[in-house]
Homo-oligomer: A and B are copies of this chain.
């Protein structure tokens, strides 16, 4: 049977890994947060493996956690995403570069400019992960005493998206004629002044940058709430989702694709990529041992705090080396509580191991041989659980190298992942159309590469 559906793979990156124990793992680069040479190597390896995108998460504050936990975490500080991805653009050729930027704490003129500029510099490889920034500590760094409430953040985000995309369309694709003989640099009939005046934003335009290779950088979102899903269904081209299992993935996939169709879009206009934490071993036992080793490096008290929240009960008095005791019903979320109890039973975890799992990473994970991981990824793909994954490496560089050296070839053998990039832009590789300019007729065909 010909397998034509193709996996899309993003790498969800923090310089040291998103796992809080990763900086202590043997062979890790604890200084990667500020060592560009490591990041360059990671991006080049991912490009060699034909990943669709390098995806950089972000925070607008030092993470909000007790100092005893904070001082043990490498996730506090790192490069700012825009400077990092712009630098990586200069040392890579094909991999997409997705930066997170906030609609609550930044200005649409700045965001539109920077992403268009990154798209020009990278030859069409920029993506914008739209976030509304839920961390209340961020507000305090931007002159606000109170965080903006959720509904208001989403209303502003939608308007912000309209303004940014409108600014990206300030010039027609063929506006810049640069005719040295006559002295005409651009055709003024192909310049549009946006003149937006809305409830949250007032932005005149035009943007002082030519329309970029992709027309618009790729729009990425991660919202899982009701307004988040709706915003994504209307505007997102890539969704970074978080699911506990395949069944949850399938429900989300069906829901969002249906919403997109209802909003007048095609199902293929949105690629849904759940985050997946991938630990590769030559045997399943080796993979599990690597994960257990990694979890054991998590600060125990942080883990216990996470466990207490999850079960709605103070876990600090539990025997760390015993199984999870029976705990009374509480008013913690029933599903979250049941998930934790089930996790402990399934993997036969002690209280310490369970706590450290929760304090490290406890979302969707594929832990096993390359073949078993490829089996799971293929199952998600063919059963419409996802269009691919945002891969999270447990530790770097070994976790990334394992995935690139062992899992990617297995996916390629199954013909569900590319051996060569299809095009030169992120849109072309993801199979996304280049957006028409809302203010101007289509550009000549030679400016719009086939996708």
Which residues of A does B touch, CB under 8 Å? 23-24, 28, 30-31, 33-34, 36, 40, 59-63, 67, 70-74, 76-80, 82-84, 86-91, 105-107, 109-110, 113-114, 116-118, 120-121, 123, 137, 140-143, 145, 171, 176, 178, 180, 183-188, 201-210, 297, 299
Q: Is the CB of B297 within 8 A of A183?
A: yes
> How far does the alpha carbon of A67 sit from the alpha carbon of B82 in the complex, in Å?
33
Q: Is the CB of A34 within 8 A of B120?
A: yes
Q: Is the CB of A206 within 8 A of B107?
A: no
> How far does the alpha carbon of A180 sit from the alpha carbon of B72 in the complex, in Å?
9
Which of B72, B137, B142, B186 has a CB less than 8 Å from the CB of A76?
B186
13 contacts between A and B (CB under 8 A): A34-B120, A60-B109, A62-B208, A74-B178, A82-B82, A82-B114, A83-B89, A84-B86, A86-B86, A88-B90, A137-B204, A143-B201, A183-B297
Which of B71, B82, B86, B187 has a CB less than 8 Å from the CB of A188?
B71
> Given A62-B206, A208-B59: A71 and B187 within 8 A (CB)?
yes
> How far does the alpha carbon of A185 sit from the alpha carbon of B34 in the complex, in Å?
14
Return A421 CB to nearest CB of chain B, in Å.
19
Q: Is the CB of A36 within 8 A of B120?
A: yes
Q: Is the CB of A83 within 8 A of B31?
A: no
Q: Is the CB of A121 within 8 A of B87?
A: yes
> How far does the alpha carbon of A71 sit from the alpha carbon of B185 in the complex, in Å?
6
Which of B79, B113, B116 has a CB less than 8 Å from the CB of A121?
B79
> How far does the alpha carbon of A29 sit from the alpha carbon of B178 in the complex, in Å?
10
> Given A82-B114, A120-B79, A121-B83: A70 and B188 within 8 A (CB)?
yes
> Given A61-B208, A71-B188, A79-B120: A143 and B87 within 8 A (CB)?
no
Given contacts A36-B90, A79-B121, A80-B113, 11 further A-B contacts (CB under 8 A): A30-B178, A30-B180, A36-B121, A60-B208, A71-B188, A77-B209, A80-B117, A83-B121, A86-B86, A140-B202, A145-B202
Contacts of A142 in B (CB 8 A): 107, 109, 203
> How far does the alpha carbon of A116 sit from the alpha carbon of B73 in the complex, in Å?
20
Q: Is the CB of A78 within 8 A of B209?
A: yes
Residue of B nearest to A298 (CB): B183
> How far does the alpha carbon of A31 sit from the alpha carbon of B109 in the complex, in Å?
23
> How far does the alpha carbon of A110 sit from the alpha carbon of B176 in the complex, in Å?
32
> How far does the alpha carbon of A67 sit from the alpha carbon of B188 in the complex, in Å?
7
> Which of A40, A88, A118, A204 counts the most chain B CB atoms within 10 A?
A204
